[in-house]
Structure 1
């Protein structure tokens, strides 16, 4: 009789576990956050900040892994192939949503194959040059670039990033065609800019390098000057009024991530970006907190994707 009762209890327990809503006991083990770019840049810094805060708020270990390459799609593919259980997440710049627009052979559809979870940071970018360039504004740099376009190369932290779109807008307004080199993240590109291997960048991650004099900022792509660099003019003040653009950073899960997990992750990130220490860290990166509900994020992505696709089309950009 006892054996039958124990077996019955086991069956009932298994049934009860299966009857629980998806994600009811989540998280109960280590969570992986994939950073799809190289260590050291703004993309990696924000991914690590997100991982740190998720660990603090959720009470589970969070490990951040760098899987860089192919303009972020190597890391994205890791998440796409993962089980939709909330234990593998992607922390990426907005470049993630443009994979099929900038790559000929993107391994996935960013809209169909992922679940948007949260948008947690945004900010303007800096138009950066090596300090050796004898120009202090865009207006002063353009004659030099137009006179010798073959001597100037734009570095890109990744194809499809907001910085890439800003470069296309810069070139379109300037009326020049410069070579562009895509890196595995902004950190190695910034290193090459400091050493003079490339001559120009537009990137959100150059604030510390400008502050310590290793790079020079010709402009900022926001609508107003940044308090961290009050001496750097806006693009409009610097001679290119149409160059106003911000980048943003978000969290994604695999397709079909259960709604309870999405809701809890979104709430955790919304809570995180209200913490003074997090705000201060983002501020030091030249960023500000951002947040939205999952439904609002889907709408935001659709609108941002439409704007970006139009810019790529107007720039006659050909996927690489």
Structure 2
């Protein structure tokens, strides 16, 4: 059994996949491995799973990009809804607006003022075109009326060193991977990007509170299998993954890294994906992000 993560190692989805793999290995009597297949903003690994046998031996650790790629890509070789069966929603990862300390801004309003005074001079990192980081910042730009230059990377593990060194100025990214650098003074958090504050940084306002009412973007993570996977297999996988997430030690491990545990039924996960298809379509339209070939 393998869990395909269509991203580079080191991010929140990679951690979730490894937690699931540990549980499935222990409970199903066969090894479950994590297989990182980055590339094409996640499309390479996702297509691999879409075309795999629907026997429960190949799983996909997906995130918001699973839906967004479909909205942005003119010729995607799979359908994110039709070609997959949901197993379980697993998490919501809190994103934050973070800048390098060299950026002379200590609040969202100061960053907006700085960007307006220097159009295009500031840049920002993302985990690729159409990634949650990309869409979050494009929505920020649209709502704030500012211009920042996009610098896409293959994943968070790739852009973090350049953000810490000051090669790129800012990012809206997962707080769990950025928090150690924030605590060490290598990065500065201006605001949380989701609809509520995080217990990790209770005094840090949301972007909506600080400057842009209505701004709210978090990144979900969930497990999928190829469409046609027998229902009993889906139900067994769901039961084991949900049990792993509800383990107090596992939940605390994730919470301490800014990952909110949100285990669900397959049906609830399906509804969320359908809702996010509508939500992210609206975000793409508002941010005026064009289709990719």
TM-score (norm 1): 0.85
1:290 maps to what in 2?
A: 262
Instruction: State the match for 2:66 in structure 1.
Output: 96
Q: Which moved more, 1:129-138 or 1:177-186?
A: 177-186
The Cα offsets for residues 3-24 of structure 1, whole Å up to 9 and x where unpaired, read as xxxxxxxxxxxxxxxxxxxxxx
CA contact (8 A) 2:9 2:36 kept: yes
Residue 48 (structure 1) aligned with residue 45 (structure 2): no
| Aligned CA distance change for structure 1 residues 57 and 215 (closer, same or farther; 3 Å) | farther
Residue aligning to 1:164: 134
Answer whether contact 1:126 1:218 (CA < 8 A) is retained.
yes
In structure 1, what is the equivalent of residue 236 of structure 2?
264
8 Å contact from structure 2 (residues 88, 241) kept in 1: yes
Q: Tell me the SS of whatever aligns to 2:215.
A: coil
1:174 is aligned to 2:159 = no
The equivalent residue for 1:278 is 250
Q: Residues 220 and 312 (structure 1 numbering): CA distance in 2 closer, same or farther, change over 3 Å? A: same
Partners of 2:86 and 2:32 lie apart in 1 by: 19
Larger RCO: 1 or 2 (CA < 8 Å, sep 6+): 2
2:104 is aligned with 1:134 = yes
Structure 2 equivalent of residue 77 of structure 1 = 47
Distance 1:162 1:273, change over 3 A: same
Query: How far apart are the structure 1 equivalents of 2:159 and 2:184?
Result: 17
Q: Secondary structure at the match of 1:47?
A: helix
CA distance in 2, matches of 1:243, 1:262: 35
The question of whether the paired residues in 2 share the 8 Å contact of 1:193 and 1:199 is answered with yes
TM-score, scaled relative to structure 2: 0.93
RMSD: 1.7
CA distances 1:233-266 after superposition (whole Å, capped 9, x unpaired) = 2213332222222211011111211111111111
Distance 1:64 1:301 in 2: 23
* 211-220 vs 226-235, greater mean Cα deviation: 226-235
Is contact 1:169-1:311 (8 Å) kept? yes
Unaligned runs of 5+ in 1: 1-30
- Structure 2 match to 1:122: 92
Aligned residue pair count: 290
Q: Which residue of 1 aligns with 2:211?
A: 239
C-alpha distance in 2 between matches for 1:52 and 1:160: 30
Q: State the SS of the aligned residue for 1:101.
A: helix
Find the residue that maps to 2:171 and give its secondary structure: strand
C-alpha separation between the residues in 2 aligned to 1:103 and 1:196? 31
